[in-house]
Amino acid sequence: MPNHKIILNSHDLLEKSRGLRFALPQLGEFATGFVVRFHGKAHAYVNQCAHVPVELDWEQGNFFTVAKDYLICATHGAHYQPDTGHCVLGPCKGKSLQVLPVTEQNQQITIHLDKLHK
């Protein structure tokens, strides 16, 4: 039975820096999710573009634009709001990444996968 949560160390997730990736075997053998920190808060998503179902990051963990204001898909450049997963620019404008609920306490980030859907 797959795990229903992922636990990560808060110290490993820095503001507007590299995202942390994790496997999501519930969605398929190679499926991944990721978490980033933006304005102090952790935000996690399924690592799959709303345009074409590919991972956002070519260079693993590299999700932010150069200006660090949006998450960007490396394939065609869709821009997503880091705190909502909403696509505001690019071929999937108006769509969203799949949000994974996150809680953080006692220096631990917990990503809850109970409601994960394909």
- Does position 97 interact with ligand FES (CB under 6 A)? The reply is no
Rounded to an integer, what is the distance from CA 103 to the centroid of its chain? Answer: 14
CA dist 86 and 89 (Å) reads 9
> Which of 2, 53 has the CB closer to ligand FES?
53
Nearest approach in angstroms of CB 53 to ligand FES is 8
Burial bucket for residue 104 (CB in 10 Å: 0-12, 13-18, 19+):
middle
- Does position 51 interact with ligand FES (CB under 6 A)? The reply is yes
Stretch that binds ligand FES, among 2-10, 28-36, 61-69, 74-82 (CB under 6 A): 74-82
- Does position 54 interact with ligand FES (CB under 6 A)? The reply is yes
CB 43 within 8 A of CB 65: no
- Does position 110 interact with ligand FES (CB under 6 A)? The reply is no
